[in-house]
Amino acid sequence: MSLSHVDAKGRPKMVDISTKSVSSRQAHARAKVLLPAEVARQFVDNDLLTRKGSVIHTAVIAGTMAVKRTADLIPFCHPLPIDRCDIQIELQADNQLVIDCIVAVQHKTGVEMEALTGASVAALTVYDMLKALSHDMQISEVRLVSKQGGKSDYQAGDQQTSNSI
């Protein structure tokens, strides 16, 4: 197996998708933010209003904006016309905010980086919104949960399965 963003001479390059077929592609990424108990206790109905506004609503907006700007942040990502971006954030009993970002597109390339970027920026926004209450937060487990479309599907914990395109 070789790296797709490196040419035969080891130089960085953007992947050529010109001969690929357009297909439905979707990716689901997740990030977690571990909150100190005293911060988590301030959440009411799965949100916390600060002087900056709603933590959850602001994180959803920031994550969505990041999904749309991924190609500006990650050098070899293709700019994509995003068809769907759904960010859900839920406070769990263990004081963790679980951030799920699902992104879908009809295109020649996948949206894993967009989903990962959306979940990451939403987590960073939570940190920014709550840092006045505590800096003792941990962003963790930023990972791809699943992807569908393209050459293979992926489900965390499973082996990749090939698709025909």
Domains of the chain, CATH where assigned: 23-147 (3.30.70.640)
User: What is the Cα–Cα distance from 53 to 38, expressed in whole angstroms?
Assistant: 19
Residue 66 has pLDDT above 70, yes or no: yes
pLDDT in tens, 101-146: 999 999 999 999 999 999 999 999 999 999 999 999 999 999 999 9
pLDDT band at 161 (very low <50, low <70, confident <90, very high): low
Residue 63 has pLDDT above 70, yes or no: yes
Give the residue numbers annotated as catalytic, written as ranges. Answer: 128
pLDDT band at 16 (very low <50, low <70, confident <90, very high): confident
Q: Are residues 39 and 137 in contact, defined by beta-carbon separation less than 8 angstroms?
A: yes
Q: What is the pTM (predicted TM-score) of this model?
A: 0.90
**pLDDT value for 148:** 97
Spatial CA neighbour of 138 closest among 29, 39, 27:
39
